[in-house]
Amino acid sequence: MKGVYTRPGAVGEGDGVRGGVDTNPPPGSSRLGDMGATLTEIVVDAADPAALAAFWVEVLGWEQLDADDTGVEIGASGGAKPTLVFVPVDDSKAGKNRLHLDVNPSGCDQDAEQQRLLSLGAVEIDVGQGEQTWVVLADPEGNEFCLLRTQVG
């Protein structure tokens, strides 16, 4: 089978072995042969895709790539992936997201970036995180995201 690495006598589970097939990539490889997926888009349900996309364009310094009645896509200049795609939904957000974005300050410290994000429409929220080095915020539609402490870029 192309892309699957077998290990003679391998029969266990829990160590990267499934049914005698070693699912661990070979040393120096991050993938199993031709198998693997590439993250290209993160899709976010939105009551107002255009407004939420505009918020995230300001947060990330990205640009709007496409917009139509199915949603709004934003991304970094130069075509870097992944992009964020905001799609219209009728129902409102309920409960804590099971997936969230983490962002780092770039060109300033965490406090300055926090103030900038709040001025754009983010709000501080408590999801039970306690005292941490990161700050939990929500975008204008209530989607949680974290502002980490470490400055990048």
pLDDT tens-digit readout, 84-138: 999 999 998 888 889 999 999 999 999 999 999 999 999 999 999 999 999 999 9
Domain ranges (residues) in the chain: 39-92, 93-153
Q: Output the CA–CA distances (angstroms, integers) from residue 53 to 11, 123, 153, in the order listed.
A: 49, 16, 23
CATH 3.10.180.10: does it fit domain 39-92? yes
**What's the CA gap between 124 and 100, in Å, rounded?**
15
At 3-44, the pLDDT tens digits run 443 434 444 434 555 555 555 655 665 556 678 899 999 999
Q: What is the three-class DSSP state of 50?
A: helix
Return the CATH architecture of domain 93-153: 2-Layer Sandwich (3.30)
> Stretch 66-95: mean pLDDT, rounded?
95
27 versus 139: the higher-pLDDT residue is 139
Exposed/middle/buried for residue 6 (C-beta within 10 Å: 0-12, 13-18, 19+): exposed
**What's the CA gap between 133 and 149, in Å, rounded?**
6
